[in-house]
Chain A
Amino acid sequence: MDGNYVALAVTLVVWLGLFLFLRGLHKRIRKLEETSK
């Protein structure tokens, strides 16, 4: 059962990283789109 919690923690960290990356990208793209208009 312990292994499951380790895997759970790793998966959550991966998801947090991916989410923050995509969110940052989203913000930057929006800013660029606004300046290029």
Chain B
Amino acid sequence: MIWQWVLFVAMGVLIVMSFITPAPQQQIGESSRIFYYHIPQAWLAVVAFATSMIYSIRYLKRREASLDDRAAIANALGLVFAILATVTGAMFAKVTWGTYWNWDPRQTSIFVLLLIYGAYFSLRGAVTGDERRAAMSAVYSIFAFPPAVFLMFVFPRLTPSLHPSDTIVDKNMKFAMTTDVASILFGSLVLFTVLYIWMFNLAARVYKMERARREDD
């Protein structure tokens, strides 16, 4: 598996680069290095949320159990990345704003994402019957998507926020992001996404084997 070693070395190089190059935001200083980890985590939390919605739609159309598995896996990984993004965000907030939590629009939207992930798994725990559980959680996943998207992408732009704008274009204008910073951030986004796909694939295979074993019994 050569690609695994490529990922291993590339991520290692990226980690070294993220610490030895000049800090991405000179005014904030050394702590701004957390950008290279915080942004990919937040990005993957959103990607996982969208993945789960897409698999939920496909489940309702095709009614295949493996599609429900994938929706659940995407939500589980999304929960992990959302927690990581929340924690790194709170750490950075403590250093730069002086408090861990102040209900900044960005913090509100990641908190809501966490609540949706939590609610999704509460629902799965409370419904009996494989098909009924799959259908109910798929419907909830799809239904929770539009208000959450509004909260993540529209609301932060309507309300004044202390959060450094997180799209790369905005950042470019605000921070005058150098090509070094941009390439490390881009590399980090790519490698974290590869990592996410790897984890997703492994979990999907485990679920598939478990299902096959249950059907054998």
Asked whether any CB of A lies within 8 Å of a CB of B in the complex, the reply is yes
Contacts of A25 in B (CB 8 A): 202
Cβ A22 vs Cβ B15 within 8 A: no
Bound-state CA distance A3–B206 (Å) is 40
Contacts of A22 in B (CB 8 A): 198-199, 202
Cβ A11 vs Cβ B209 within 8 A: no
Contacts of B198 in A (CB 8 A): 22, 26
Residue-wise interface mask of A (12-29) relative to B, using a CB-CB cutoff of 8 A (1 in contact, 0 not): 100100010011011001
Contacts of B20 in A (CB 8 A): 4, 8
Nearest-neighbour CB distance to chain A for B195, whole angstroms, equals 8
Contacts of B212 in A (CB 8 A): 36
Contacts of B1 in A (CB 8 A): 23, 26
Cβ A12 vs Cβ B15 within 8 A: yes
Cβ B4 vs Cβ A26 within 8 A: yes
Contacts of B199 in A (CB 8 A): 22
Using known A-B contacts A4-B20, A8-B19, determine if residue A33 contacts B209 with beta carbons closer than 8 Å. yes
Interface magnitude class on chain A: 10 to 19
Nearest-neighbour CB distance to chain B for A33, whole angstroms, equals 7
Using known A-B contacts A33-B209, A36-B209, determine if residue A19 contacts B19 with beta carbons closer than 8 Å. no
Using known A-B contacts A26-B4, A33-B209, determine if residue A15 contacts B30 with beta carbons closer than 8 Å. no
Contacts of A29 in B (CB 8 A): 202, 205-206, 209
At the interface, yes or no: B126 with Cβ under 8 Å from chain A? no
Residue-wise interface mask of B (154-167) relative to A, using a CB-CB cutoff of 8 A (1 in contact, 0 not): 00000000000000
Smallest CB gap from A7: residue in B: B19
**25 sample A-B contacts, Cβ–Cβ < 8 Å, listed by A number:** A4-B19, A4-B20, A4-B33, A7-B19, A8-B16, A8-B19, A8-B20, A11-B15, A11-B18, A12-B15, A12-B16, A15-B11, A15-B15, A19-B7, A19-B11, A22-B199, A22-B202, A23-B1, A23-B4, A29-B202, A29-B209, A32-B209, A33-B209, A36-B209, A36-B212
Please give 19 more A-B residue pairs, beta carbons under 8 A apart, in addition to A4-B33, A8-B20, A23-B1: A4-B19, A4-B30, A8-B15, A8-B16, A8-B19, A12-B12, A12-B16, A15-B12, A19-B7, A19-B11, A22-B198, A22-B199, A26-B198, A26-B202, A29-B209, A32-B209, A36-B209, A36-B212, A36-B213
Which A residues form the contact surface with B (CB < 8 A)?
3-5, 7-8, 11-12, 15, 19, 22-23, 25-26, 29, 32-33, 36
